[in-house]
Structure 1
Amino acid sequence: MRWPRQLMSLLFVLALLAGPPIVLLSLVGAPIQGWPTAAQAREWVQNPLTEQTLTAALTIAAWLVWLLLASTVTIRVLTRLSATVSWLRRMPLPTPWQATAGGIAGAAVLGVSSHAITAPPPPPTQPVAAGTLDEVGKPTPLESEVLADEGISVAGGWLPRDVAEQVSAAAALVWLRRRRSYWPHPLSSPSREDTDLAPLPPTVAAVQAAFADSTPPPTEPGAASAGSSLLDRPTVGRAFPQAGVGLTGLGAQDAARGLLVTSLLAGRHHLAVSVVVTRDVLAGLLGPTAETLAHRLPGLAVIDNLGQAAGFFPGDHPGRAPGGREPTQPNMQETTGPPGPTLIVDEASATDNAETLARLATASAAVAVLGRWPAGQTWQIDPSGRDHHQDGSEPAGPRMCVLTQVTAIDLLTVIAHPDPAPPMPGTAGPSRLPAPAGRSPRREVTAQDHPVRSGNDQRRLRLRVLGEPALLLDGHPVEIRRTAAVQVLVFLAAHPDGADTRQLTDAIWPGLPRRSLTGRLYTTLSDLRATIRSTAGVSIIEHSDDRYRLNPTGVTVDLWHFHHAVRDATTTVTTDATTWKAVIDAYPADLAARRTWPWLDPIREATRRHVIDAHATLASASPDAREALAWLQAGIRIDPYNADLHTRAVTALIALGDHDAADHLRESYTRRLAAAGLLPTDTDLTTTTFTDQPAITSR
């Protein structure tokens, strides 16, 4: 509780302010007792260092120190009062209608008899920005980063709730694409150098963390992105007037970036172009990376002038489908489907082509003009995304998504194509994604120097992180109250060499100021240590040199046992099937199964790939075709999204003459990809390259 500490602080300050004057006045007296006479002055000049003069000098110095302290406290108090008064002035007062409604509601509540009152069901838990949920599920304010009912604040912007959900779903889809394109192969080292295991940008991690423990994960990874009503129309486009709107003010550029990201996210599962933007505007929004990023963004059409935009809008060319593609049947008229693309232009282009822009606005999802727009409304956007009419009289619409340049680029990376021409699975080697700018590939941490559990191991504590995380004492789970404490245990298990305070706070509460999280981490660790000590009588978390690590002599970890099996299989001179089978036997389930912590994805995927490599190696080394097929099918159960395993299995089934099973496997894999939002271009696994979106259109 805060108030005891605040009360003690207040008493301490009052003691500092009142104590010195009381002591000085009682022992020495008043600091000034009249001006010195001429005789006293001559005496002081002749003999300055007397007991009386030294006492007076020390007294004056003490009073000066006290005055400095008093002035500092006074300035702090006045500053706090000024901030409080300013906040009270900005506090919105209820309108007459709101006051009337509140009075009616209060009267209704007070008028109901006591026996008719029932406890209302608790409101659904709203996701908050990373780290703003306390350990019992109640939202607590932290640096104004709380996710309100309508959105989430991140470093460098604000996103509406449904847009944040889209970002989280798109991030899950990135890892599905990486799983799909991985090419299993035997490793010569327990460490992985896969460049596509690089973590996603910090902004994406912050959005993911907001939903990590507040909503249950989908049954299938990436399933949240399929069939969602969020994909039908850009969120911000619903509030836009049909004729378009001009954006001015300090937040105009940020709002345009928010519109760009929102529209691309909402249209990422449609084949039509979802955003049309002029080249100059895109360069102003995304900076030097605009040209490079534009060629990787599906659904983005870059034009040089407004006259080139007509081909991307339905109804501008008879017989043309949305996005400028030919219809599949003659004389087919497009009357249904997603809305037209979002159009973003500058003020000069809009003024010079007012008639063209007015015609395109009728078929677009939203039209935004960066600047004043005389032919339509003009909104003034503040940096927080709140919009007002040009005269500032009243809000023009819902709060808009606003993003800085860095934040927008971070979010766009989750929907950008990793490679314009990815290799075919199983033919050209493993597909690799470039690491984000400024990031180095993550190197997997192994537990080579830590002991593993043996048959005569007397350690009573066992940490299980493969599958549902649990700390077991003699086989029985130890109750851990805080979800952050569970994360700490899994994180330290995945990093046997330990982690410092910065690494732990950045992983568990990404995107929030570290200075506000240190106390929360200490509280979490203190509670975790106390729980383990009271239950098992030992302490398994060591702290030295500002690094926390699990004590290998006090707890055994199944992940460390798995890493030792991988090391034996990859470093033994004469590797046989037994070592690879040991890797498979040591892997009961995915790392922290069904947990959606953002930091977990790279480590979980690296661990899964070791097991896939073991299955593929055993299948390749098996002399019996049916045994090889069985190993491939077991690998598919570990990762049902890997294209290379499916291609090998289909080929093996065809070689065995079981064409029906091959067709069934091919069709079920295609359906699984489509359900997750990964669209295949064909159903033949042996010849098909799978993609997610059509190529970029640029004019």
Structure 2
Amino acid sequence: MRWPRQLMSLLLLLALLAGPPLVLLTLIGPPIKGWPSTAQVGEWVQQPLTEQALTAALTIAAWLVWLMLAYTVAVRILIRLRETSAWLRRLPLPTPLQATASGMAGAAVFGVTTNALPTAPPHPISSGPVTLQDEASPDDPGEATHADGIGVSGGWLPRDVAEQVAAAAALVWLRRRRDYHPSPASRDDADLAPLPPTVTAVQAALADIPNPSAAPTPSNGMSALVEVLPAGGVGLTGPGALPIGRGLLVTALLAGQRHYPTTSLITTKAALASLLGPAAETLGERLPLTIVENLDEAAQIVHAANYSAEAHANTMRQDAPPSTAGHQQIVLLDQHDGDEPQMKHLVEASVATAAVVVALGDWPAGPTWHADSAGYLHDPHHPDATGPRLCVLNQMAATDLLAIIALPNPTPPDPTAPRSPLPDGGSTDLRLPRQVTRHEPRLPPSKPRQRLHLRVLGNPQLLIDGEPLTVRRSAALQILVYLATHPTGANTAQLTDAIWPGLPRRSLTGRLYTALSDLRGTIRAACGLHVIDHIDDRYHLNPAHVDVDLWHLNAAIHHAATTHINTHTAWQAVLDAYPADLAAKRTWPWLDPIREATRRRIIDLCVSLATAEPDPHQAFQLVQAGICIDPYNADLHKHASRTLTILGDHDAATELQDHYRQTLTRAGLDVTASHRLSPTTIRQ
């Protein structure tokens, strides 16, 4: 308790301030009893070191020391009052409606409970990584919420577009799983790099929604854009022209990832350069869009694509969904592209095919609208009309999002180039309790201690003597899992960057400390143990107080990979220690590289043991176990098919391949459309 010490400090301060004046006034009196006369001054000059003069000098010195002390205390009090006043000015006060509601609620529960009722904020504010776009404008209606969209550093995305981003990100990791080649000799983890920051910020924002199915379903981002644009094209000017253009680029390409309806994007080189800057040349070649030199070429492609879509629609089954016949074409232009005849030709083609033409700048062939930086378009002929809010992105955010849509870079990575450190899947060494030998004196039995077990494989849970402990904060649960996957510990910056990607660190330190304090308090109240240590500015799980299933798995993998006897027993121990993926069904973005690295260690072991196994039946069982761990890996299925062929079971080999193709098709990884994925396909 600090209040006794504070009270003693206050009493001491009062004694220092009041004591010396009382003593001086009582024993000596005031320092000066009137001004000295001329005769007294003359006597002092002739004989300065008299007893009276020395007493007066010491008295004056004592009063000066006391004045300095009083001045210091007064300055400190003024500084503290100023800080308190500034804090009170920043303190959010409830609105009149909130005050009335809180008063009514307090009156209703008065006498029943003493718990304080929290006051609702004036606007719904998410605790996840949602921020205002960095190009905000005065007409911005307010902070984005999860209900209508996701705000990230550098832009704002409608909810539909954000869902498509998360789906495309999931597809990236499925492709990496499909294309990985398990190697008994060495593992190539060059493709385990985390996704771009804007992508992880969107993923984290969506993962922060407790129940995504209960959230309102927004309108389709592409449909909302098409509905507000006039036929024949429109020009966009104003501070939001380029941000909305980038949002249109990303929205159209994400819409093209779906099976239905088909959306194609046509753009000129000049427009793409205006939107993406230096990244246009290298990134544009890998994007699923058509880049043209001039407007005549764009008009020809619009006509050709429309005829192809009509022919395709005529050959489809009668029971196909109505949307399968739809083919939406988007044309993005720069204001300096083409002359008047070319513009006229493109307008005619777009009107005939219902294509959407957007010029970044004035559009002589049609209307020009004002675009504000918040994502709203303003028709000068209808100033009071307000359309839907569109996606807005700066260059960095747009480049990050397009990176997960683009085809992989055909240039292989330089093996001599330095690589970023791989995610740590956990220590392979388990700290086992020291065993008592017969030469050591046995201590008398003590009261049994409670045992803490952290389970991170499958649904993360903290168990005390086998009973789950409720961790109230999502951030606190993330901290536990993050530290379990990083036995060497993590500092404040690493934790905040992982849990709240896309937000400035300076605004997250307090949030992290709150989550840590709540987590420590919950565990201490339940069992009295200190699980998280803070040493040298790094947080660690205390292995003496908590046991982690991931650490046992890593030890089992290490033992199976190095043992030369009882390999079947060691291999079975690995499978028994891996009941499910790391933090299964959690969509925390930082998990993906570590989750995949852990999965690869197991399938590498399966392939290594299968390669060395002389019995083909045992070899097939090993590979089949690897397929159960990762049903998307192509190399495992090829290995299993070859083994079945060696065994002479050709029907089983064919059935295995058919089942694998169906698995890829359901995930959106089929050969003919490997880049398509519905946002509801993968939500793990």
TM-score range for the pair, normalised by the shorter chain length: 0.7 to 0.9
Structure 1 residues 618 and 246 mapped into 2: Cα distance closer, same or farther (>3 Å)?
same
Partner of residue 158 from structure 2, selected from 157, 160, 166: 160
User: Aligned letter for 1:668?
Assistant: H
1:340 aligns with 2:328: yes
Paired position in structure 2 for 1:510: 501
Q: 1:253 aligns with which of 218, 230, 242?
A: 242
- Which residue of 194, 200, 204 maps to 2:195? 200
Report the AA paired with residue 501 of structure 2.
P
Aligned with 1:692 (options 675, 680, 683): 675
Deviations 1:254-304 (A, max 9, x none): 110000000000002459672111111111211112111112112x11111
Pair 145,516 (structure 1): closer, same or farther in 2 beyond 3 Å = farther
- The 1:345–1:627 alpha-carbon spacing in structure 2 relative to 1, beyond 3 Å, is same
CA contact (8 A) 1:237 1:365 kept: no
Partner of 2:574: 583
| Residue 293, structure 1, aligned to residue 286, structure 2 | no
- Residues 566-610 of structure 1: CA deviation (Å, up to 9, x unaligned): 223445588945444433332121111111111111111111111
Q: Aligned match of 2:403 in 407, 413, 420?
A: 413
Kept in 2: contact 1:319–1:326 (CA 8 A) = no
User: Does residue 304 of structure 1 match 2:293?
Assistant: yes
Seq. identity, %: 49
Contact 2:246 2:394 in 1 (8 A): yes
The equivalent of 1:16 in structure 2 is: none
Aligned position for 1:446: 426
1:678 and 2:669 are equivalent in the alignment: yes
The residue that corresponds to 2:10 in the other structure is none
- Equivalent in the alignment of 2:530: 539
Residue of structure 1 equivalent to 2:121: none
Decide whether aligned partners of structure 1 residues 401 and 692 sit closer, same or farther in structure 2, where only a CA change above 3 A counts. Answer: closer
State the alpha-carbon separation in 2 of the partners of residues 127 and 64 from structure 1.
Answer: 41
Aligned residue identity for 1:321:
S
Could you say what secondary structure the match of 1:196 adopts? coil
What is the match of residue 105 of structure 1? none
1:526-579, Cα deviation, whole Å (9 max, x unpaired):
111111112122111111222111001111111011111222344558894544
Q: Contact between 1:246 and 1:368, CA under 8 Å: does it hold in 2?
A: yes
How far is 1:462 from its partner? Answer: 1.1
| Alpha-carbon distance between aligned partners in 2 of 1:511 and 1:459, rounded to the nearest angstrom | 39
Cα deviation per residue 1:479-521 (whole Å; 9 max; x = unaligned)?
A: 2222222111111100001111111111111112222222221
Deviation at 1:375, TM superposition (A): 3.2
Match of 1:474 in 2: 465
- C-alpha change, 1:464 and 1:217, in structure 2 (3 Å) is farther
Counterpart selection for 2:375 from 354, 373, 385? 385
Q: Deviations over 1:365-390 (max 9, x none)?
A: 53211112243332222222122234
Matched letter for residue 287 of structure 1 = G
Q: Is the 8 A contact 1:193 1:443 kept in 2?
A: no
Corresponding residue of 2:596: 605
Higher mean C-alpha deviation, range 253-262 or range 587-596: 587-596
Secondary structure at 2:231 match in 1: coil
The partner residue of 1:321 within 308, 323, 333 is 308
Secondary structure at 1:197 match in 2: coil
Distance 1:181 1:649, change over 3 A: same
Alignment partners' CA distance in 2, 1:73 and 1:321:
70
Once the 2 structures are TM-superposed, how far is the Cα of residue 657 of structure 1 from its aligned partner?
3.3
Question: How many Å separate the matches in 2 of 1:207 and 1:596?
Answer: 11
**Given residue 665 of structure 2, which amino acid in structure 1 is its aligned partner?**
A
Which whole-Å CA distance do the structure 2 matches of 1:345 and 1:473 have between them? 62
Contact 2:306–2:327 (CA under 8 A) maintained in structure 1: no
Q: Please, which moves more after superposition, 580-589 or 176-185?
A: 580-589
1:282-337 CA distance string (max 9 Å, x none): 11211112111112112x11111111113432xx24995149999989xxxx9963
Q: Secondary structure at the match of 2:426?
A: coil
Structure 1 residues 100-139: aligned runs within 5 Å: 128=126, 130-131=128-129
Are the counterparts in 2 of residues 234 and 262 from structure 1 also a CA contact under 8 Å? Answer: no
Q: Partner of 2:624: helix, strand, or coil?
A: helix
Within the alignment, does 1:555 sit opposite 2:553 as a pair? no
The root-mean-square deviation of aligned C-alpha atoms, in Å, is 4.6
Partner of 2:230, secondary structure, is: coil
Instruction: Return 5+ residue gaps in structure 2 as ranges.
Output: 1-13, 23-34, 49-55, 96-123, 132-141, 317-321, 437-447, 677-684
Structure 1 counterpart SS, 2:150 = strand
Task: Say which SS state the counterpart of residue 287 (structure 2) adopts.
Answer: coil
Aligned equivalents of 2:600 and 2:531: distance in 1? 29
Q: 2:516 aligns with which of 512, 522, 525?
A: 525
Conserved 8 A contact 1:320-1:327:
no
Answering whether residue 392 of structure 2 is matched by residue 402 of structure 1, we say yes
Aligned counterpart, 2:174:
176
Contact conserved, 1:154 with 1:203, CA < 8 A, in 2? Answer: yes
Q: Deviations along 1:181-235, whole A, 9 cap, x unmatched?
A: 11112255xxx650111111111111111121426699xxxxxxxxx99889555
Kindly indicate whether the alpha-carbon contact (under 8 Å) linking 1:566 and 1:610 is maintained by their aligned counterparts in 2: yes
Give how far 1:642 is off.
0.8
Q: Which whole-Å CA distance do the structure 1 matches of 2:456 and 2:656 have between them?
A: 31
How far the C-alpha of 1:145 sits from its partner, in A, is: 5.9
Judge conservation of contact 1:196–1:441 (CA < 8 Å) in 2.
Answer: no
Q: Determine which of 327, 335, 346 is the counterpart of 1:357.
A: 346
Q: Which amino acid aligns with 2:241?
A: A
CA distance in structure 1 between the partners assigned to 2:79 and 2:334 by the alignment: 56
SS at match of 1:342: strand
Q: 1:74 to 1:652 in 2, by over 3 A?
A: closer
Equivalent pair of 1:312/1:322 in contact (CA under 8 Å): no
Report the Cα distance in structure 2 between the residues aligned to 1:251 and 1:438, rounded to whole angstroms.
39
Aligned residue number for residue 14 of structure 1:
none
Contact 2:310 2:325 in 1 (8 A): no
In structure 2, give the amino acid aligned to 1:342.
Answer: I
Which 10-residue stretch deviates more, 366-375 or 557-566?
Answer: 366-375
Whether the 8 Å contact between 1:187 and 1:570 is mirrored in structure 2 is no
Mapped partners of 1:665, 1:338: distance in 2: 35
Change (3 A) 1:317 1:260: closer
Instruction: Check conservation: 1:151, 1:159, Cα contact below 8 A.
Output: yes
Counterpart Cα distance in 1 of 2:588 and 2:581: 13
Alpha-carbon distance between aligned partners in 2 of 1:74 and 1:537, rounded to the nearest angstrom: 36
Aligned length: 571
CA offset digits 1:39-82 (Å, max 9, x no partner): 99xx9xx99x985996999799889969996997899799989x
Cα distance change, pair 310–230 in 1 and its aligned pair in 2 (3 A): farther
Identify if the C-alpha distance between structure 1 residues 159 and 673 changes in structure 2 by more than 3 Å, giving closer, same or farther.
same
Q: Letter of the aligned partner of 1:538 in structure 2?
A: L
- Listed one character per residue, the Cα deviations across residues 653-698 of structure 1 (whole Å, up to 9, x for unaligned) are 33333333233222222122111111214xxxxxxxx9437xxxxx
3-state secondary structure, aligned to 1:195 = coil
8 Å contact kept, 2:268–2:293: yes
1:239 counterpart residue number:
228
Shift of 1:131: 4.3
TM-score scaled by length of structure 1:
0.71
**1:610-630 deviation per Cα after TM superposition (whole angstroms, max 9, x unaligned):** 111122223222222233222
Partners of 2:507 and 2:367 lie apart in 1 by: 42
Name the residue aligned to 1:280: 270
For the Cα contact (< 8 Å) 1:129–1:152, is it kept in 2? no
User: How far apart in 2 are the matches of 1:292 and 1:663?
Assistant: 41
Change in 2 beyond 3 A, CA 1:273/1:382: closer
Distance (whole Å) between structure 2 residues aligned to residue 629 and residue 468 of structure 1: 30
